[in-house]
A and B are shown apart, each in its own frame.
Chain A
């Protein structure tokens, strides 16, 4: 229990590493619930969502399927449930989508998601996990866009709302307010036009699982790294005491 809490604390420190300065414009990012990172069930659910919804356009070409053993899946489970794009668990998560075609269809090539959370951190706004967690929960229906979708966290994004069946369809409600003599559109809330299969809380939780998986995939070794670090700290602390006493022993006769 205590170990779990400690792990959560350290991992959250890792994830929040970027949040050091004051926020600067744009939609404020929501906090990704970091406790999901230490929960294998969440990570496995995230892996399932990732393979089903993301891994058609987005690759994770630095991540091997059998690495999922580290979040508690066996090779047989991976083969039976997750291995759609390949036939060997030792292969990386690539996609068949042609980059040129993708660019023609969406206006941008879908980025590789292996290290996406590591790349999207921003000082003052939050961690990359916070960003992706916010991004995936702020899609809305916008018929003026080619895909029919838009996003509050990434205006005019090329990606359609892939998780729409889960979240349903929504429209943002904007109210015109006067600020410093200018009329500005202020976002006040959502109007649900078609409910999804998940209620809002369940949807947030599912997205959090997916983001937890992406955060894990960005650096699969991060849990080992933090655990090993604790032992290294312990060793170095003891060694420092020895070095300190050794130093004192040599120097005590120097007048």
Chain B
């Protein structure tokens, strides 16, 4: 424990109060130093680095608006829809709070997708930041759960049938599926029991986990230090006297003023949506969700909200022929490992047995189940990213030109999968989503191979920075 300090003679009352607090709660002052005034971030960070701060802004906004919504919302199947309209019409400023919350959900995903893509561009998940990335992917998972459960609460047709479709996916899991789906719903159909438990998860359980993960994400980041667009460690070059990284600058005030600018630009876009297009053409608030949930009337076309559609496409891409393609891929991979792989004989036997078992399993269970597996794996594979990337450099800046094309196609594929998830199914579109799915997984699973190939550019010793 630190010793009590005495105020010098003639100190002002403000200084005395500060010292009084410091003597009794030094942790707060240490935290300010460690995370703000003496947290040294690379000075070369660019616009891609604003999305972390924006994500915190949106998180806080969702929590605050959520608290006010809960004051008026009724988690009851017979009252929920009307209570949302009550908020929109009769609660003072309720419409603004509700639009902030509904637009905030979509904004959160846009920001988080951009934030994750920044990590992908500059290798921010590489050593020593693996845990930062893992906490981040866990946050993304929580966010998906939070958004999915929150979407049921307005109790419109899309809320209801979207939940019905997604919960039924769990029923496809062999042996335990139907019981698992029953456990999630709390009833044989989506109903009041489902609404109440989703409400509990949406407002208490997941936010608690989310906040804990966000804290872990930030603490772990501040322990290892921020990455930069050059993907080099600023801690390798310190001032010999102070020990401060030469390319580092204090987070506060330099990055706080950056983030204030980013926040105001973000708020312009965000407010433009809230005030001028809160439905965002049916993407942020789906038109069908203005019809109260009706268990007897299935909508002709059920599409999840846009941020889930890339994964939904991958689910729908997994048809019976697609499972055969998976079998062929597993077989080919095993052949290649046996033929080209520098493995001991016993391991080769193991590879062959594993491949045979995998193919047998693929053919045993329904394609619907494998679709669920593919959808889950598409998110889970992100956890493995720190170990999949074997590139000798972290940043895209010093990778071979064709790597940029690989990333570019990945982004395009992700967008196309997202678009296909909104569309109704046709043979051509299913084929497109199948090609997209293969590319998505190929990108990650073949990364240990392709990320090492090509001519890498020399990485500078110090960060590249243009004064502005």
Contacts and interface: CB of A to CB of B under 8 A. Distances in A.
Interface of A: 10, 13-14, 17-18, 20, 61-64, 67, 111-112, 114-115, 118-123, 128, 218-221, 225-226, 228-230, 232-233, 236-237, 239-240, 243-244, 246-248, 250-252, 254-255
26 contacts: A14-B277, A17-B281, A61-B82, A63-B89, A64-B90, A67-B89, A118-B287, A121-B279, A123-B281, A219-B88, A219-B95, A221-B89, A226-B275, A226-B276, A228-B275, A229-B271, A229-B276, A230-B275, A232-B275, A237-B268, A243-B257, A244-B261, A250-B254, A250-B257, A251-B257, A251-B258
B95 A251 contact: no
Chain B contact-residue range equals 35 or more
B154 to A, nearest CB: 11
Contacts of B86: 62
Given A10-B276, A232-B275, 4 more contacts: A233-B275, A243-B260, A247-B261, A251-B468
B258 A220 contact: no
B277 A243 contact: no
Given A14-B276, A221-B88, A237-B268, A254 B249 contact: yes
A32 to B, nearest CB: 15
Contacts of B253: 250
A162 to B, nearest CB: 21
Name the 3 nearest CB pairs between A and B, nearest first: A229-B275, A119-B290, A62-B85
Contacts of A247: 257-258, 260-261
Given A236-B268, A246-B257, A250-B253, A17 B89 contact: no
Nearest to B95: A221
Nearest to A121: B287
B265 interface: yes
B7 interface: no
B95 A233 contact: no
B287 A120 contact: yes
B254 to A, nearest CB: 6
B282 interface: yes
A250 B289 CA distance: 47
Interface in B49-83: 82
Contacts of A17: 277, 279-282
A14 to B, nearest CB: 7
Interface in B220-264: 249, 253-254, 257-258, 260-261, 263-264
A244 B268 CA distance: 14
Contacts of B467: 251-252, 254-255
A18 B258 CA distance: 36
Contacts of B277: 13-14, 17
Given A10-B276, A225-B275, A233 B268 contact: yes
Contacts of A63: 89
A118 B267 CA distance: 25
Nearest to B271: A232
A237 B268 CA distance: 7
Contacts of A118: 279, 287, 290
A228 B100 CA distance: 14
A228 to B, nearest CB: 6
A252 B268 CA distance: 25
Contacts of A123: 281-282
B89 A220 contact: yes
B39 to A, nearest CB: 16
Contacts of A67: 89
A114 B289 CA distance: 13
A225 B274 CA distance: 9
Interface in B261-308: 261, 263-265, 267-268, 271-272, 274-282, 287-292
B43 interface: yes
B264 A240 contact: yes
A20 B287 contact: no
B261, B277, B467, most chain A CB atoms within 10 A: B261
